[in-house]
Chains A and B, each alone.
Chain A
């Protein structure tokens, strides 16, 4: 099976712009979670989507949003970018079998640099 894919892998934006990141989960996985990784704050949970519905949200401002499509692909959007949004954004997908509940498979991430 192909792993979790994220596009683009690298992105450079300027302050005030907006950005959309894409994540394709492993085939058959219906849950997609997003995390932000920075040197200062570490790995922080952004939100989780399951069957096109946001089920859980971390402590991030409303500038961070996401959605999930019927094929389980997910996008996250950051509006009005700030310098502090520079980070590695990781997407993870989860199987829906009981035996693998809560096990997350991570993609390679999108490295966002805000200038």
Chain B
């Protein structure tokens, strides 16, 4: 069975500081990994995805994530936080054989301080 752990349900950073949101996964087969962002009263927007190509994945809005198989991690980073980045972030995993079933982490609420 797959699972995702997001360390830190709440993360606060100052505007302009580095954003680091942590995600560790468990999967018995090579995974597909995703980061989604959710703004209040909205659905989920895909930030980036890893599908076994390059281990460093670049996404929208300046975010990127690195797949580290040895650490079973897929942490999300952004060099400089912007006020508009304040939202909830979800890491998700699926495997190639499970069709469109995503298993989500519990989410990390990012607060950006002025």
Contact = CB atoms under 8 A, between A and B. Distances in A.
Interface residues of B, number: 25
B99 A56 contact: yes
A6 to B, nearest CB: 8
A31 to B, nearest CB: 5
Contacts of A108: 41-43
Interface residues of A, number: 25
Given A45-B101, A56-B101, A102 B96 contact: yes
Contacts of B77: none
A31 B98 CA distance: 13
Identify whether the interface residues of A are mostly helix, strand, loop, or mixed.
strand
B5 to A, nearest CB: 12
Given A43-B90, A103-B49, A33 B43 contact: no
Nearest to A57: B101
B100 A33 contact: yes
Which one of B44, B45, B100, B103 has the highest number of Cβ atoms from chain A below 10 Å of its Cβ? B100
Contacts of B100: 31, 33, 48, 50, 56, 92, 94, 102, 104
Contact of B107 (A4, A35, A42, A50): A42
B102 interface: yes
Contacts of A104: 46, 100, 102
A105 interface: yes
Interface in A11-51: 31, 33, 35, 42-45, 48, 50
Given A42-B105, A43-B107, A102-B96, 16 more contacts: A31-B100, A33-B101, A33-B102, A42-B104, A43-B102, A45-B101, A48-B99, A56-B99, A56-B100, A58-B101, A102-B51, A103-B46, A104-B100, A105-B46, A106-B44, A108-B42
Interface of B: 32, 34, 36, 41-46, 49, 51, 90, 92, 94, 96, 98-107
